[in-house]
Structure 1
Amino acid sequence: MNHERSRALYDRALSVMPGGVNSSVRATIPYPVFIERGEGGHVIDADGNRYVDWVMGYGPLLYGHDVPESVTAAIQSAAADGPMYGAPTEVEVEHAEFLARHVPSVEQVRFVNSGTEATVSAVRLARGYTGRDKVVIMQGGYHGAQESTLVEGDADDPSPSTAGVPEEFAKHTLPVPFNDPEAAREVFEEHGEDIAAVLVEPILANMGIVMPVDGYHETLRELCDEHGSLLVFDEVITGFRVGGLSCAQGKFGVTPDVTTFGKIVGGGFPVGAIGGRAEIIESFTPSGDVFQAGTFSGHPVTMAAGKAYLEYAAEHDVYEHVNDLGRRLRKGITEICADQAPSYTVVGTDSLFKTIFTREGPARSDLGECCTAGCRQDPDCPRYEYCPKTGADVARAGTDRWERVFRQEMKERGILLTGNQFESQFVSYAHTDEDVEETLEAYKHAL
């Protein structure tokens, strides 16, 4: 493939944007592919190269790049009426009502402008509602570019994970390993009276797609109830992608106190939302004393797009289609890895998929029918001791090989994957059986 124009655009971008990008994850090796347009489940870059697109905007594009006509009509109508008003509109009420009808934890919603803004507001809400300062997070979890969660280390020695975050901020954050119920119990035994919230992705979806072990979220729910803390599910990625309209909390049968949303809930436009029990969400101003506001919050075009997006999913077989393709992808990749890379771990659920370049474990041929379409954290699986259960497990995998060799080879074969081993990959309603077969064929050569 020829990438001369993408390279030239990147050279120009380096002069006017830090690192040549507006989001760090886009700075892929050796330089980013600059996209010109999307068509269904594909994108075409600035050099005219066509790719099967499994990035899907990092999650928002449930329908791919060609949305249903009803969504297009809703977007065009809202935009034609005026860009925005700084005042409430009926569509934001209708969108909030949809979320409250379908998501178990949601009684009220506050719309904002990004997943980061949603999690920032959720942390402030939890602290204001409980009168406490400390927040428990998962090592390897990601909750946006915010000071309270850009923290590494452990509960005994937390520290900022980036320059620009004061040490004083980090001391209020308690990182614990995902899937370690004993570590969660210990942190509550020591700090329970000071913990405002546990902030957790139902699935670690920015760290290789790590599923919860059986009973883990139930343990977090019990600990929060016992100590008067809030359980906050970050469903920015999993919301309306895992578990259908009831989201991951519906799939796992655990109801948090507060849920954060982004991506799909805005129909491909910038969005975030914080939903939960009415008595908690009403702590936001003006009904409560936790300040939260935004000029573009509840933007009418975004609300129209998000509402139409989810209504279409409610009326059609969207999740059946994307989940079936996701299962076929994971199953096919699992079979390929069994022959060519038996130590690797295929992960994902519903319409999420990824391959983690793990370095140890029994060969796929020794596993029988266990986890044939993605790691399920099954204790009876011979690979159970080796499959990734925490962010650290994923970080120890062959990250460099994934980024520098495998992804590059897949790109040259017309398959566009996310820029690193950690980010999820996404199936859309626009993807086809042919896209799956083309991807599996590329896998056979790239591995």
Structure 2
Amino acid sequence: MNHENSRELYDRALSVLPGGVNSAVRAAIEPYPFFVQKGDGGHVVDADGNRYVDWVMGLGPLLLGHDLPQPVQSSIQQKASEGPMYGMPTEVEVDLAEFVVRHVPSVEKIRFVNSGTEATTSAVRLARGYTGRNKIVINQGGYHGAQESTLVEGDADNPAPSSAGVPQAFAEHTLPVPFNDQEAVTEVFEEHGDDIAAVLTEPILGNYGIVHPEDGYHDFLREITEEHGSLLIFDEVITGFRVGGLGCAQSEVGVTPDLTTFGKIVGGGFPVGAIGGRAELVEQFAPSGPVFQAGTFSGHPVTMAAGLETLQFAAENDVYGHVGDLGDRLRDGLADIVADQAPEYTVAGTDSMFKVIFTRDGEAPTNGADVKNAETDRWRRVFWGQMKDEGILLSQNQFECQFVSYGHTDEDVERTLEAYKEAL
């Protein structure tokens, strides 16, 4: 494949953008990323005209694919033509809020923001403000955006910033524990229970190769947080309206959190975040409560229209049946290929999420450390490029998830499985 235009664009970008990109993961591809010119259904075309089956889907927001159905596109165009934004309430934000409240078990009220990071930052502030406590329990390998309270590594005894610019004093209020480790959670509550504002967890780790919860794990988190007067926050920025359909992952695991954060699909491919939960909690946000939260672009009418029309289209057109069936075919086919060609690897995912994890022993990972110990360099430096040469676009590293969209076809699945056979 020719990548001359992408190389030239990256050369220009290096002069004006740090690392040549606007989000760090985009630079994971070596020696340089290819630049996308346009999307088409379940495909993207790069700046040199090369066409790929796209399983990145914008890192999750594009449930419907790159070609938006006519009612979705029309609603977006109408709102854009009426004016960029107003800094005032609009009807469509109420419509989307009502839709989410109607379908997600835990959500009685919701506050829309502009990104998943903003949503989790606000949720942590809300938990601290409501409980009057400082500490947050997170899972090692979980990802909750680029915010100070969760850019923390180590363990509960020795938390440390995982990024320059995060003060150690901030990190000391964050207690990282392994995913699926009930004993570790019990220990931090025994030591810090009176000062734990919340447990913040993803229902499924989606930024660490896909790690599934063990049976009873989230039930345990629900019980121990209630016992100690702490909140349980589900970060459904990735899984929201993708796993479990319109009820989100919480409906599938059967656990009702106190707060839920959203992003990606709830904005229909436009910048978005949201915090939903029990009314008494969400009402702690200003102006009805003492926890300050505000944003010029929050509830942006174009984003609200895109999110509402996307979810309504999904509800009325069996979108979840389509993407779930293709996801099952992908995972089943990949499991057969891995069993035959690379039995030390594992296949993970559910609904419209999937990933082959380059584990070393054929055992499915149970926490972030298991994925970190996989052959991450081989995945990124060798395998990703082989798949690209076969015309298949996968997420930029071992850790990011891959997604099926309504724009994908049976042919895309078959072509992808053949490419995996060649690359593995």
Q: Could you say which TM-score interval applies, normalised by the shorter chain?
A: over 0.9
Letter in structure 1 aligned against 2:147: Q
Give a deviation string over 1:6-25, Cα, whole Å, max 9, x none. Answer: 11111110010000000001
* 1:422 Cα offset (Å): 0.3
Which residue number corresponds to residue 327 of structure 2?
Answer: 326
Which residue number corresponds to residue 209 of structure 2?
Answer: 208
Which residue number corresponds to residue 264 of structure 1?
Answer: 265
Note if 1:94 corresponds to 2:71.
Answer: no
Q: In 2, Cα distance between the equivalents of 1:153 and 1:352?
A: 28
Q: How does 1:363-378 map to 2 (within 5 A)?
A: none
Give a deviation string over 1:333-356, Cα, whole Å, max 9, x none. Answer: 110111110110000000000000
Letter in structure 1 aligned against 2:404: V
* 1:272 Cα offset (Å): 0.2
Of 363, 385, 408 in structure 2, the residue corresponding to residue 431 of structure 1 is 408
Note if 1:25 corresponds to 2:25.
Answer: yes
Judge conservation of contact 2:197–2:230 (CA < 8 Å) in 1.
Answer: yes
Give a deviation string over 1:226-271, Cα, whole Å, max 9, x none. Answer: 0000000000000000000000000110000000000000000000
Q: In 1, Cα distance between the equivalents of 2:354 and 2:272?
A: 24
Of 383, 390, 399 in structure 2, the residue corresponding to residue 406 of structure 1 is 383
Judge conservation of contact 2:232–2:259 (CA < 8 Å) in 1.
Answer: yes
Which residue number corresponds to residue 239 of structure 1?
Answer: 240
SS at match of 1:343: coil
Note if 1:343 corresponds to 2:344.
Answer: yes
Letter in structure 2 aligned against 1:341: A
* 1:360 Cα offset (Å): 1.1
Letter in structure 2 aligned against 1:162: S
Which residue number corresponds to residue 152 of structure 2?
Answer: 151
* 1:29 Cα offset (Å): 1.6
Q: In 2, Cα distance between the equivalents of 1:133 and 1:198?
A: 12
SS at match of 1:238: coil
Letter in structure 2 aligned against 1:345: T
Which residue number corresponds to residue 174 of structure 2?
Answer: 173
Letter in structure 1 aligned against 2:127: A
Q: In 2, Cα distance between the equivalents of 1:331 and 1:4?
A: 37
Which residue number corresponds to residue 380 of structure 1?
Answer: none
Q: In 1, Cα distance between the equivalents of 2:20 and 2:63?
A: 28
SS at match of 1:331: helix
Q: Percent identity, please.
A: 75
Q: In 2, Cα distance between the equivalents of 1:76 and 1:49?
A: 28
Note if 1:303 corresponds to 2:304.
Answer: yes
Letter in structure 1 aligned against 2:45: I
Which residue number corresponds to residue 5 of structure 2?
Answer: 5
Which residue number corresponds to residue 122 of structure 1?
Answer: 123
Give a deviation string over 1:301-323, Cα, whole Å, max 9, x none. Answer: 10011000101111111000001
Give a deviation string over 1:126-157, Cα, whole Å, max 9, x none. Answer: 00000000000000000000000000000000
SS at match of 1:198: strand
Q: In 2, Cα distance between the equivalents of 1:345 and 1:29?
A: 25
* 1:79 Cα offset (Å): 0.7
Letter in structure 1 aligned against 2:269: G
Q: In 1, Cα distance between the equivalents of 2:315 and 2:129?
A: 35
Letter in structure 2 aligned against 1:105: S
SS at match of 1:408: helix
Judge conservation of contact 2:152–2:161 (CA < 8 Å) in 1.
Answer: yes
Q: How does 1:108-119 map to 2 (within 5 A)?
A: 108-119=109-120
Q: In 1, Cα distance between the equivalents of 2:339 and 2:3?
A: 33
Q: In 2, Cα distance between the equivalents of 1:440 and 1:210?
A: 22
* 1:80 Cα offset (Å): 1.0
Which residue number corresponds to residue 134 of structure 2?
Answer: 133
Q: In 1, Cα distance between the equivalents of 2:401 and 2:71?
A: 28
Give a deviation string over 1:259-309, Cα, whole Å, max 9, x none. Answer: 000000000000000000000000000000000000000000100110001
* 1:124 Cα offset (Å): 0.2
Gaps of 5+ in 2: none
Give a deviation string over 1:89-141, Cα, whole Å, max 9, x none. Answer: 01100100000000001000000000000000000000000000000000000
SS at match of 1:149: coil
Judge conservation of contact 2:51–2:391 (CA < 8 Å) in 1.
Answer: yes
* 1:201 Cα offset (Å): 0.3
Q: In 2, Cα distance between the equivalents of 1:164 and 1:344?
A: 36
SS at match of 1:355: strand
Which residue number corresponds to residue 369 of structure 1?
Answer: none
SS at match of 1:232: strand
Letter in structure 2 aligned against 1:330: R
Q: In 2, Cα distance between the equivalents of 1:408 and 1:121?
A: 38
Q: In 1, Cα distance between the equivalents of 2:301 and 2:132?
A: 34
Divergent runs of 4+, >4 A: none
Note if 1:416 corresponds to 2:378.
Answer: no
Note if 1:397 corresponds to 2:374.
Answer: yes
Letter in structure 2 aligned against 1:436: V
Q: In 2, Cα distance between the equivalents of 1:350 and 1:74?
A: 27
* 1:4 Cα offset (Å): 1.1
Q: How does 1:223-234 map to 2 (within 5 A)?
A: 223-234=224-235
Q: In 2, Cα distance between the equivalents of 1:304 and 1:12?
A: 35
Gaps of 5+ in 1: 362-385
Which residue number corresponds to residue 15 of structure 1?
Answer: 15
Which residue number corresponds to residue 276 of structure 1?
Answer: 277
Which residue number corresponds to residue 287 of structure 1?
Answer: 288
* 1:387 Cα offset (Å): 1.9
TM (normalized to structure 1)? 0.94
